[in-house]
Structure 1
Amino acid sequence: MIRIGNFPDTVNEYAARTVAGLVVILSLAAIITQSLWLAGALFYGFSARVLYGPKFSPFAKLAIHGIVPLLGLGSKTVAGPPKRFAQLVGVIFSGTAFALLYFGQVSAFQAVLGILVLFASLESILGFCAGCFVFGFLIQWGWIPEEVCEKCNNLQFAVKK
């Protein structure tokens, strides 16, 4: 049986950054071609990762089993919950972009995906995860219970009080 919500407690930072790079490529292709299929694939990928982690995500599989080993990037373990939150933000942006393109709002579609490209580029190139950054504040403000991110605390992600 497939269990929804089976996201890993920890993830490989290099795989996450590689997935972000693939998201940049697919997003740029969708912006240029204005393809509903590519926008749908982007939305599917984020949805699969937020619901199941890498299990049903072609980009995650490619990153974990192909690109990261091929480039010898190794493994750097980081907390999973902030990365999952970042994927949820990706679901929102890619879903919004898909809907905008479906309804013919091409400029708005391109703007929304352009923002996604910016933040995915920051993750891929610089290792700055904006969703993870926001996640830390949500914990600090009490919007996300601290127990949700016990792994974060163990991996020194905890927000200082």
Structure 2
Amino acid sequence: MVEVRTPFEFPAIVNEKAARVVAGLVVLVAALALLTGWLWLSAVLAVGFALRVASGPRFDPFGLLATTVIAPRLGEPVMVPGPPKRFAQAIGLVLTLVATGFLVAGLPAVTTALLAILLVFATLESALGFCAGCYAFGLLMRAGLVPEETCAACNDISLRQRQPAGV
């Protein structure tokens, strides 16, 4: 079954392998920014996060590269609920927007610190598969701050589906 989505809709389930690849690409760009002093790359990262929050990988270069080129070469997809991943992308968006704002305000040290934080959390997801945003999403669900219907698959593993690579 092919899932039909509107252009600006996040997928209900996502390939964990593709998400980890995207996190790895974020690590590379954040590290490049920190190592070279090209802190303006925080704006580039913010655009990518905004595109992913709005529509998943559909319009984002990192997401497209991850879902169509790299992740299919990593074997069978591992499907996970989409809402926690979207929440994590939203956290990345806020972090990079704030980092860019501080850069524009003439406070590059704050931008550097925020990019270092992003680097740590993106590395945790990419290398170890630990999504801090997903973990926070789960805590918010348990606290009742995120309604259960937002992510039924988060609570019931039987609702998670295996789909072919690239979906």
Give the TM-score normalised by the residue count of structure 2.
0.86
Counterpart position of 2:30:
27
CA contact (8 A) 2:40 2:100 kept: no
Runs of 4+ displaced beyond 6 Å: none
| Counterpart amino acid of residue 98 in structure 2 | T
Q: How far apart, in 2, do the equivalents of 1:143 and 1:51 lie?
A: 22
CA RMSD for the aligned pairs? Answer: 1.9
Give the TM-score normalised by the residue count of structure 1.
0.89
Q: How far is 1:150 from its partner?
A: 1.1
CA contact (8 A) 2:39 2:108 kept: no
Counterpart position of 1:56:
59
Residue-by-residue CA offset, 1:49-71 (whole Å, 9 max, x unaligned): 0111111110010111111223x
- For 1:77-92, list aligned pairs within 5 A: 77-92=79-94
1:153 to 146, 152, 155: 155
Tell me if 1:11 matches 2:29. no
Q: How far apart, in 1, do the equivalents of 2:117 and 2:31 lie?
A: 11
Q: How far apart, in 1, do the equivalents of 2:132 and 2:158 lie?
A: 17
Q: How far apart, in 2, do the equivalents of 1:19 and 1:99 lie?
A: 23
Q: How far is 1:118 from its partner?
A: 0.3
Counterpart position of 2:128:
126
Stretches of structure 2 lacking an aligned partner (at least 5 in a row): 160-167
How many aligned positions are there? Answer: 155
2:45 to 20, 24, 42: 42
Q: How far apart, in 1, do the equivalents of 2:22 and 2:134 lie?
A: 15
| Counterpart amino acid of residue 17 in structure 2 | Y
Stretches of structure 1 lacking an aligned partner (at least 5 in a row): none
Of all paired residues, the percent bearing the same amino acid is: 46
CA contact (8 A) 1:78 1:155 kept: no
| Counterpart amino acid of residue 128 in structure 2 | L
Q: How far is 1:34 from its partner?
A: 3.1
